[in-house]
Amino acid sequence: MPSDDCAQIYLATPRDFDPATFGPRLAAVLEAVPVACVRISLATTDAVALGRAADRLRDVCHARDVAIVVDEHFRMVEKHGLDGVHLVSASRNVREARKLLGEDAIVGAYCGHSKHAGMTAAEIGVDYISFGPVGDMGGLGDGARAEPALFQWWSEMIEVPVVAEGGLDDESLRAVRDHVDFATFGAELWQAEDAAAEAVRLLGILKGA
């Protein structure tokens, strides 16, 4: 974990990847910068493909004392030795996931740009709330963004940790970095030719560069 007060890095995997080749790329990033958590964000719902990715990346993460969670599929967490789940539909399934996984598991929830959805999920008992997109997502979604003011309000009023994600370019990252606990980098990082070097650069921005 970072030793200062800057937001911590939270990584989301690409939507599609080969675990055999992505594993070393992930390992290089984890060696280059402190990372709080890695999230398996595969688009597939194929249990075999998800399990293969979970087993490969779990070993990479746990060897470096980094937590690893998976999007939505909380029923595979225990089987594959993961640390928790990231629910993409706000408060939906939070109670079910918590009941199945127990209090020690990580249960996070993505709440778009809705303060109300975030507060509802927080009241139910998630470990963190994720808002986004923060920056331009290239025409995806309805174009609405989680504005810096939302993160500032949350950080001042709510104790549950808050995560910024989605389209985090340099400008949007600087706008929210002082009001978030974690910044999620996905495509912003993996599209770089040298992901480890890009992670170092992004950490510099989080620290105030």
Residue 188 lies in a domain: yes
Phi/psi at 21 (5° precision): -95, -30
Q: What is the pLDDT of residues 181-196, one digit of tens each?
A: 999 999 999 999 999 9
Residue 1 lies in a domain: no
Global pTM value: 0.94
Q: What is the CATH number of the domain that holds 53?
A: 3.20.20.70
Q: How confident is the model at residue 141 (pLDDT cuts 50, 70, 90)?
A: low
**pLDDT for res 182:** 98
**pLDDT for res 5:** 79
Residue 200 belongs to what domain range? 8-206
Residue 170 lies in a domain: yes
**pLDDT for res 78:** 97
Sign of CA dihedral 148, 153, 156, 160: negative
Residue 64 lies in a domain: yes
Q: How confident is the model at residue 178 (pLDDT cuts 50, 70, 90)?
A: very high
Residue 3 lies in a domain: no
Residue 2 lies in a domain: no
**pLDDT for res 2:** 38
- CA–CA distance, 148 with 174 (Å, rounded to integer): 10
**pLDDT for res 109:** 97
**Residue 50's closest CA among 24, 70, 27?**
70
* 82 within 8 A of 68, measured Cβ to Cβ: yes
Q: Give the CB-side neighbour count of residue 48, counting CA atoms within 13 A.
A: 0
**How many structural domains comprise the chain?**
1
Q: What is the pLDDT of residues 69-125, one digit of tens each?
A: 999 999 999 999 999 999 998 888 999 999 999 999 999 999 999 999 999 999 999
Residue 13 lies in a domain: yes
DSSP string, the chain: --SSSSPEEEEE--SS--HHHHHHHHHHHHHHS-EEEEEE--S---HHHHHHHHHHHHHHHHTTT-EEEEES-GGGTTTTT--EEEESSTTTTHHHHHHHH-TTSEEEEE-TT-HHHHHHHHHHT-SEEEE---S--TT-TTS----HHHHHHHHHH--S-EEEESS--HHHHHHHGGG-SEEEESHHHHTSSSHHHHHHHHHHHHTT-
**pLDDT for res 190:** 97
Residue 195 lies in a domain: yes
